[in-house]
Each structure stands twice: as structure tokens, then as C-alpha cells.
A and B are shown apart, each in its own frame.
Chain A
Amino acid sequence: MIAELLAKVETEWRADLEQEGVTIRPPLSAMKIGDLDSMNRKFNLLIFDQHEKYPVLVLRVAHTEEQRALLINECVVLGDLTRRAALSDSMPRLLGIYEHQNLLIAAEQGCAGISLLALMFRHQHTSPVWVRRDFRLVCDTLHKFERATLDGTLPFPNPEQVREKIVQIVSHYRSIEWPKGCLERLVKIADENREMNLPGFSRHGDFWAGNLLLSPHGLRVIDWEGYSQHDGLFHDIFFFMTNYAMFYPWHGWKKCSDETAFKNGFLENNWLALLIKDTIRAFFYKWNIQPRAVYLLLVLFLMEMSLPASIRNDPRYPPQYDKWFNLFQTFIHGKPLLLEPEPISI
């Protein structure tokens, strides 16, 4: 079947693709990449010719109804967002959608670059100078995306909604040890911000270092199938930062547990934790959101990821929500110095 798809690219689909600016120079070869951890086992074919260093084309192939729905969502998003000038350089271009036998195939422009995750794995871009530069690039891109998709506002979570989320967590996990004053603080922050409105923009849905490609031309965000509209909870920035902390090589080449890595990135006093704090603060200041409110939004994000319904946000197998629950517990039991939920009295 893969050979048949290559033959289609070389013949039947070639004119369409060349009209979209992709030069097809046979013979082509295909690298198949399947996501072992995903419950939606779509696969990608990176198409290479004999001239280019990077894939000239990416075929995203869906072979079940569930995958088709996700892929169609991605195609609609790419078609819509790449028409907006502010975003056209930050995402792959959709070149065409094709059917072959029972498969739905989206042809996307191949993106040059190396993922931020790969750089971290190689201990590149891990010094303060590089991390600061990468955070700026990532936040600028995310901010641009949020501005471009801004559509109205959403109310800040009120105390009732916070209590409801707490009930959900408690009913699922039963044995939660809440630190003294934690629940009251969360409800209090919600009450303090009762009048606040959050910007209503879209979410990429899987905004982590593995989906961010860096090249001399800037940063491109790939894998848009988890996109959804009206996300007032800043899922993308929190997902990026928490995952960044978890994948950062804290102990050199030695492995580090998720909890320890998260703790290092969000609760300990070190240069990266301070940089993460400053970056998150600066990101939210652009939306006029104060650190105490950010603290509550981060706790709500961790709670949301800890519930079984979060499989929508993180569709990996086995499901990851237990891992997120551990991070949530780590966070509420740590000293919340970095986001300073209480005003500093001088």
C-alpha cells in the first residue's frame, strides 16, 4: 500500500502538489512513523526524494473512522489558520486531501528543522542562554497564535467551578492529602478574580517540545489534530512548560523521574525554575493576568489532566492521567514560591 501511495504521488497527485509549490522528483522513498503511545493509531509517511535533506512532503494517513475524524479536524484547522498571514510561517501548509482504498490521506508540506525535544535529548539548547532564547521564540509563536484566534472572552473560573473540580478529583482518587489551607486558598483566588474575563482563543492541544520544529527560519508547530476552539484555561502554555520541565536533562545522561523533574522545574530554587516562572509570568502579563490567578489556572490545569477525561488532551496508551495526578500532588504539596500565590509583604 505504501508503494502504491508513492506511485500516486509520483503520477496522479503530482500535478496538484506541484501547483502547491512542491517539486516531486522521483524516485521517492517513504519513512513510516507510527505513534506507539497513541490510542489513535494514525501514521505518517515522510516522503524523501534524492535531492532534499528534509522530507519534501508528509502524508498523514488515517485508516479508522476515529482517525479520519481527527485528520479532517486537522485539515480544516490547517486550511483555516494558514490563510492568516500571522500564522502562515508557523505551521505546515496543507497541500491536498486524498482518498485511496479505505484510507484518508492529508498531504502536508514537509517542514525543515529539528524538534526542541530532540535538541533536549542531545543536551543541546539546554544552557540558560539557549533556554531563554527558545522560551522567547515559543511564547512569541504561541502568543501570535492566541491573538490570531482570539474570539470573545470567557469568565475566570468561579469558586463554584473550583469546588466542582475539587469534588471530581476527590471522588476519583479518594485519598488526597490536601495541605493545610490549600483548598481555601484556591477558592479564595477564584473569588478574588470573580470579575475577571479570560481571552477566548483556540488551543493547539498537543503543544509540547516534540511538536515544535526549530530551524534557522524560526519555529514551526506541527501535529494540529488536537486543535479546539475556545480554550480559556491556557492549556498550551501549561502543557508546554510542564512537559519541558519533565524532559529537561536535569541529571545529565541519567534518567530523572517525572515527579522530580517537575519539582525541579516548578518548585525548586534553580535557574531553570526561575526562568520558567519568569516566562510564565511574562506570558500572562501580556493578557493582564496576575500571578495569583496564574497559580489557580495552573492548579486547575493539573487537576484537569489528572482526570480520566483528560485522555482527550493526552491520548496516549497507557493513559497518563495517573502521572498527572502525581504532578498535581507534588505541586500542591510544594512551596508555591515560584508563582507567588500570596502577595509579598515588604
Chain B
Amino acid sequence: MSSIESGYSQADLRFFLPLKAGQLVGIFSGSIPLIETLKADGLEGISLSALEDRVVGLDHILIPVFDPEHECFSLTACFQRLKPGGWVLLGFHNSQVLADAFPIGRTPTRHSGSLHEITHVLRRSGLSVMHCYGAYHDLERPEIMVPLEKGRATRYFFGELALSSSRRAAWTRPLAIAFTALGLQRMLFRNLVVIARHEGGIQQ
């Protein structure tokens, strides 16, 4: 694996989970660097699309980009394979972005749901959302992952970091900072990544 290959930023998503060598990870991603780096870290990766009806207990599930119209599996069925205490990383296109006014990341072709809806699906499967991040530029190239629990980091992201040089970015930046002050930072990113943990059995 060449160290100068591009496309490694999605592979870096693995650092958001408490992975340990020897663990079994369900992956839904075409990112070869992600699969290769997991292997190199001593983990066993199984493609979620290849799981079918096999009964396995996964330690972690990695879904860098969830696209409900594209996937051939349901999230609920997928989460049933997770061991109690297991972790999930799920990236999705946020449908509850504030009027698409903020040029943060590329516009996805379709939305996967709101954070509220995704949280609901996770809860139904016995998972609790531990962290939520805004992904910039997008879920394929998450160069910057902004923690969204509180507004400090989001304010710094909009206020101090070098983002795109455009007229639109210039006029939306102060607005984004104002929305952050109101606690609406989760609605400023088109691409969100949630980290969730399985707390026990499936809730009915």
C-alpha cells in the first residue's frame, strides 16, 4: 500500500472507534484504504453486504456513508449483528441542514435523514449516540471532523479555520457563528457522523 495514495481520509475514521486487534468489524464501504488499514491493524473486516443470513457477532460496525436508497440492507437488521457493548460509526447526509444555506461541504445528491431520525433508528436497536461530528469536506473526504456536542469547536471552525474562498462563504460565516451561539451547530453541516454504542438487547 503506497503511502502517497489518496483517499486515506475515510480510512482515518477508524480512529473514532475503540478498535482492538483481533476484533471483528462489519464494514459497508468501497474504500479500499479503509479495508486495508483495518487489516493492517490486525482486525478482521467483513463486508456488510456479504453478511446475508450468517450469524456473527460484530465488535464494531463502520458505515462511512449511509445512503438508504442505495443500500441493500436495513440498518436495524445490520445492528442486530452487533455484540452488546459494540460500537457503530455511521456517516449520513443530513436532511435537517439549515436551508442548505451554508456551503459547508459538497451538496449530496440525496439526504439520508435527520440526526433525530438516525438517533431514533439507533435507539430502536439498543444503541446510544455518544458523539456527533460534522464532516468537512464530505463523507468521502472527511478532512475535518468537528465535534458538535457543544458550540466551541464549531465556532472555531467557522471563525478561524481557512475554508473556501467564496462570496457565499464570506456572508454565511457570521450567520453560522450566530447559529452556533444558539446551539444549532448540528444544523450547519450537510454531512454528519455519529458514534454510537450498543447498550444491551434490542428494544421492542
Contact = CB atoms under 8 A, between A and B. Distances in A.
A167 interface: no
Chain A, interface size category, equals 35 or more
A55 B156 contact: yes
Interface in A251-267: 253
Interface string A41-59: 1010010111011110000
A43 B18 contact: no
B12 A52 contact: no
B85 to A, nearest CB: 14
B12 A34 contact: yes
A41 B10 CA distance: 12
A310 interface: no
A194 B31 CA distance: 55
A49 B166 CA distance: 31
A48 B143 contact: no
Contact of B156 (A34, A54, A115, A317): A54
Interface residues of B, number: 43
Interface of B: 3-6, 8-9, 12, 14-19, 130-131, 133, 141-147, 149-150, 152-153, 155-157, 159-167, 169-170, 173, 195
Interface of A: 1-4, 29-36, 39-41, 43, 46, 48-50, 52-55, 61, 64, 66, 113-115, 117-118, 120-123, 210, 249, 253, 317-319
12 contacts: A1-B17, A3-B131, A3-B195, A31-B145, A32-B144, A33-B143, A36-B141, A39-B3, A39-B4, A48-B152, A53-B152, A54-B160
B17 A29 contact: no
A249 to B, nearest CB: 7
B156 A53 contact: yes
Contacts of B18: 1, 3-4
Nearest to B167: A253
Given A31-B144, A43-B15, 15 more contacts: A2-B16, A3-B131, A29-B149, A31-B156, A32-B16, A32-B144, A32-B145, A34-B9, A36-B9, A41-B12, A52-B152, A54-B160, A118-B161, A122-B169, A253-B167
